[in-house]
Amino acid sequence: MKAVVGVSRAIPRFAGEPFVRLVGRRIASNRDSPTVRASRLNQWMISGRTLRGAALDDAVLENMTMAAYFLYDLYHVLGKRTREAALVIRDEAYVAFVEREINGGGPFVYTGVHFGNFDIMGRVLGHTGWHMQALSVPEPNAGYQWQNEMRAKAGYELTPVSIESLKQAARRLDAGESVLTGLDRPLPEHDKVKPRFFGHPAQLPLLHVRLAMRARVPVVLVTSLREPDGRYRLLASEPIAMEGDKPTPEALLANAQRCLAPAEEWIRAHPAQWVMPHIAWPDLPIPD
């Protein structure tokens, strides 16, 4: 990760675009890599299982190129607050979103989507005062640990998922504080409840739903969209109230589906910006 940061910082903006496109093409050319295999399945599912052959190849290339843009954009300005802030569009929606949390409009269970550049948006939000406990991947490897340390510097309390961190999150919600977790990173273990994502049962987390149902608070999806000028716009759903008093499989499924709906809408509108390097539908074959 440090090498990636160093290269991204060294390459000036005027040379960034050709560099990014070269990197995207190199990544996409390795069809056997787990990242590219996940991208092929993801782009195929987004299209309603219609993309094939050269059209699917083009979609994967665009997806991998966009992933390279996100990394370059982040690491080119990392640690330079003024330059980080310049990449985020602070429109009325952004200001209202931050002020609602800072002024006690919650609590909410925020859930991030691997869409756009959440790290840049998250850092700027954190520097603006949007702070909370963030539940992260359990037993993080060195790469994830480095990312967690980077995110903690923006004001978040990063806690890998464990029994104790879940209890801590529940206490925070009970005390009127918000927490943050993820929406679309597939689970390594199978869950009996599998919401339909792009029309097919997916192995996705339900932690945001379980926390919100227990605390009787709404879920809010949050991420960012890369605009044509290279800046990022905040995307946030309206608060999604949880239905049902008990976390029965039926209630969990219904609430999970309602939370996935805004994410599906964003991803369908900008499929290249959904950068998820893991497969959510392990029972489906990788399309040609």
pTM equals: 0.92
What are the backbone dihedrals phi and psi of residue 124, each rounded to the nearest 5 degrees, phi first? -70, -40
> Higher confidence at residue 189 or residue 170?
170
Q: Which residues pair with 112 in a beta bridge?
A: 182, 222
Given a cut of 70, whether residue 230 has pLDDT beyond it is yes
Residue 4: per-residue pLDDT: 62
Q: Are the C-beta atoms of residues 156 and 88 closer than 8 Å to each other?
A: no
Torsion-angle region of 79 (φ positive above 0: left; ψ -120 to 50: alpha; else: beta): left
Residue 25: per-residue pLDDT: 93
Question: Six-digit token pair at 141?
Answer: 């490897």
Q: How many residues in the chain? A: 288
Q: Are the C-beta atoms of residues 60 and 39 closer than 8 Å to each other?
A: yes
> Mean pLDDT across the stretch 52-62?
96
Residue 188: per-residue pLDDT: 74
Given a cut of 70, whether residue 17 has pLDDT beyond it is yes
Please report, rounded to a whole number, the percentage of residues in the chain having pLDDT higher than 70: 95
> Higher confidence at residue 285 or residue 191?
285
Residue 47: per-residue pLDDT: 97
Residue 2: per-residue pLDDT: 58
pLDDT in tens, 234-281: 999 999 999 998 999 999 999 999 999 999 999 999 999 999 999 999
Given a cut of 70, whether residue 142 has pLDDT beyond it is no
pLDDT band at 140 (very low <50, low <70, confident <90, very high): low
Residue 9: per-residue pLDDT: 75
Question: Six-digit token pair at 265?
Answer: 């809408």
Given a cut of 60, whether residue 65 has pLDDT beyond it is yes
> Mean pLDDT across the stretch 91-98?
95
**Cα(222)–Cα(235) distance, integer angstroms:** 6
Mean pLDDT of the chain: 92
Could you state, in order of their start, the residue ranges of all structural domains in the chain?
2-77, 88-273
Given a cut of 90, whether residue 14 has pLDDT beyond it is no
Print the SS3 string covering the chain.
CHHHHHHHHHCCHHHHHHHHHHHHHHHHCCCCCHHHHHHHHHHHHHCCCCCCHHHHHHHHHHHHHHHHHHHHHHHHHCCCHHHHHHCEECCHHHHHHHHHHHCCCCCCEEEECCECCHHHHHHHHHHHCCCCEEEECCCCCHHHHHHHHHHHCCCCEEEECCHHHHHHHHHHHHCCCCEEEECCCCCCCCCCCCCEECCEECCCCCHHHHHHHHHCCCEEEEEEEECCCCCEEEEECCCECCCCCCCCHHHHHHHHHHHHHHHHHHHHHCHHHECCCCCCCCCCCCCC
**Cα(197)–Cα(206) distance, integer angstroms:** 13
Side-chain half-sphere exposure of 160, counting CA atoms within 13 A: 11
147 burial type by CB count under 10 A (0-12 exposed, 13-18 middle, 19+ buried): middle
Q: Report the DSSP pairing between strands 109-112 and 88-89.
A: unpaired
Name every residue whose Cβ is closer than 8 Å to that of residue 163 and which is 6 or more positions away in sequence: none
> Mean pLDDT across the stretch 102-110?
93
Q: Report the DSSP pairing between strands 200-201 and 196-197.
A: antiparallel
Torsion-angle region of 236 (φ positive above 0: left; ψ -120 to 50: alpha; else: beta): beta
